[in-house]
Amino acid sequence: MIASMQERLDTTGAQMQRLQQTVESHQQRMTEAKRDSFNALEEKREIQRKLDDELFLAGNQKCTSCQANERMRESFAEEIANLTKANEVKG
């Protein structure tokens, strides 16, 4: 009877050890998954920031030719406005 109880105790102890190892293994994998998730999120944020910067520059930067055309357009618009006022005053 004592031998049987000792055997059950040993078996239960071994099961507890295996369960404890399984729990520790799962905890380690969870820690690694959280770390990987955090790193991926940080990488996503960095990529998004760079993309936003590039989109901002692409949308707000103008080539030299575009800048010259815009200045000419503004100048022409101003001239037309002045001529229109002059014609209104005369007419």
| Predicted confidence (pLDDT) per residue in 32-66, tens digit | 999 999 999 999 999 999 999 999 988 877 788 88
Contacts of 68 (CB under 8 A, 6+ apart): none
Residue ranges of the domains in the chain?
A: 1-60, 62-91
pLDDT of residue 90: 76
pLDDT of residue 16: 96
User: Which token pair is 85?
Assistant: 């006022």
Mean pLDDT, residues 5-16 taken together: 91
Alpha-carbon distances of 35 from 22, 24, 39, 41, 48, rounded to whole Å: 20, 16, 6, 10, 20
pLDDT 10s digits, 77-89: 999 999 898 888 8
pLDDT of residue 91: 62
Cα separation, 47 vs 71, whole angstroms: 35
pLDDT of residue 64: 82
